[in-house]
Amino acid sequence: MLVISLNKFLKISLSTFFLLIFTISLQAASDSDKYFYAKKNYVTAVLSSNTKKEIKYLKVLIILGSKLNKDVKKYKEELYKLDKSVYYIESKKIKITKKKVKDNKKYNISNVKVDDNMIIIDFTHNISKKHITFKEHKKSSYYYDVFDLKGNFKDASPTKLKINGINKIRISQYRYKTLRISIRNKYNTKSIYIINKKRLIIKVFPKKYTKKVIKKHNVKLIPAYKNELIRNKTIVIDPGHGGKDSGAVGSSKKYEKIAVLKISKYLRAELKSRGYKVYLTRTNDKYIKLTKRTKYANKKNADMFISIHANSVPKSKARKTKGIETYFLSPARSARSKRVAAKENKGDIKSLGYSSKNIVLNLLNRSKITSSQKMAIDIQGHMLHNLKKYYGNKIVDKGVREGPFWVLVGAQMPSVLIEVGYISHPTESKRIYSTNYQKRIAKGIANGIDSYFSKN
């Protein structure tokens, strides 16, 4: 009995001793070391979509960063996006001060306003598609777009809103918990709506009315979407591969590098017509190192970097595998992401081992991972929407994925890599090389870019 008790005592003592040593070493660690580990844990939280841990480590980064005289502005902005109750962090006292949030249960819609061709509705809480019901119909000679929103608005009495080119916009408290926004016009406005946390944006496009006014008054056409949200934005498009690097090869020796260059040029034309500043990393069949592509984007001070590619699989799977997908940068988790990344990463990184590659990927682009993921979701969704109008269910959604794409490493702005289809698939390969498909997918990407900037 004495021996057993002594063994238990020794085990407890040893565990206590090691815990004490660990605590002392942690306390002895410098603020710089703590700051480094906080950054590492923050990135891990972002990749695993753990919002609670993101908030926790952002607070630590702000406090320690302030003590170390580092620029923590970006961390404050990210923290405020995740937790609106956090007002500021006072680094000297190492405490978090929260602003008081008004509890207004009766009215959950705080504001409705018009900006250019948009109706902007602000809620007091985050919203989703389940909060919105949309219907459209035609009565007599008028088109109606009707939005029913779950909520109460104090100033809906009813109220009329005005947008140039729209015959009538009326908001009213249709039912106790339903705010109705009714848009009436002689031409179909082709309304769309965008959800951004607590905000709903309804955009209308009165094209035919605009053409009548232009013809009558002889003025230059300014598209409805050329507003402050996207004005002066710079985008760098990167047509994948080029020169000695042909990329994937389809039937009849159809090269990926040729198709993606054409799509990139159509995308450039589409974006320029909308008011963006656009640059291509290559405009001809030229080989450019992966690292130089993002350096070019950084030099242009771009707001967005988009790399265009076409996918492929071995012949044994060629007839079964098809679809479009969009990637953002991070260490790949799935086997498919690793396979696609390995295909696109040829050339510039042969000298780096697996461990070295993962270290670099974990250190670079940390602050842009969240933005890039949001951008990828918008672009993928709008590509699918635009293509399915023409090809229906023949277009397969391969989704938004994360992967270690070296062409995205080093970009100082949100960046994505788009796989426009499988060049190895018999039908999809023909489609990728057709002018109609190239223009349609370019327009879908452009719509996704509009959507991203409207929400962010």
pLDDT digits (tens, 9 = 90+) for 112-128: 888 778 888 999 888 88
Task: Look at residue 437 in the predicted model and tell me its pLDDT.
Answer: 96
Encode burial over 286-315: b for 16+ CB neighbours within 10 A, e otherwise.
eebebeebbebbeebebbbbbbbbbbbbee
Domain boundaries, the chain: 2-98, 109-217, 234-455
- The torsion region of residue 218 among left (phi > 0), alpha (psi -120 to 50) and beta comes to left
Q: Cα–chain-centroid distance for residue 33?
A: 32
| pTM value surpassing 0.85 | no
3-state class of 50 per DSSP?
A: coil
Q: Chain-wide mean pLDDT for the chain?
A: 76
Is the backbone peptide bond immediately before 158 cis, with ω within 30 degrees of 0? Answer: yes
pLDDT at res. 407 = 67
Give the right CATH number for 234-455 from 3.30.70.260, 3.40.630.40, 3.40.50.10090, 3.40.140.10.
3.40.630.40
Q: Read off the pLDDT of residues 139-185 as tens digits, 9 standing for 90 and up.
A: 888 889 999 999 888 877 767 788 888 889 988 888 888 899 999 98
Q: Which of 134-138, 303-307, 416-420 has the lowest mean pLDDT?
A: 134-138
Of 95-99, 181-185, 343-347, minimum mean pLDDT range: 95-99
Residues 363-383 have a mean pLDDT of 79
Q: Class of the 109-217 domain?
A: mainly beta
Residue 190's CB is within 10 A of a number of other CB atoms, namely 13
Q: Which of 145, 153, 209, 142 lies closest to 176, judged by CA?
A: 153
Element (H, E) at 327: strand 324-329
- Give the amino acid at 223: P
Give the chain's count of helices (H) and strands (E). Answer: 12, 17
Tens digits of residue pLDDT in 252-262: 778 999 999 99
- Contact yes or no for 246/240 (Cβ under 8 A): no
Q: What is the mean pLDDT of residues 275-299?
A: 90
Helix (H, G, I), strand (E, B) or coil at 189: coil
Give the per-residue pLDDT at 198: 87
The full DSSP string for 49-90 is T-HHHHHHHHHHHHHHHHHTT---HHHHHHHHHH-TTEEEEE
Per-residue pLDDT at 403: 72
User: With 90 as the cut, is the pLDDT of residue 395 above it?
Assistant: yes
Task: Give the integer Cα–Cα distance in Å for 201 and 188.
Answer: 18
Distances from the Cα of 444 to the Cαs of 225, 256, 387, 389, 421, in angstroms? 15, 20, 7, 11, 14
27, pLDDT greater than 60 = no
Distance CA(432)–CA(231), nearest Å, equals 31
Ranked by mean pLDDT, which of 91-100, 201-210, 429-438 comes out on top? Answer: 429-438
DSSP 417: E
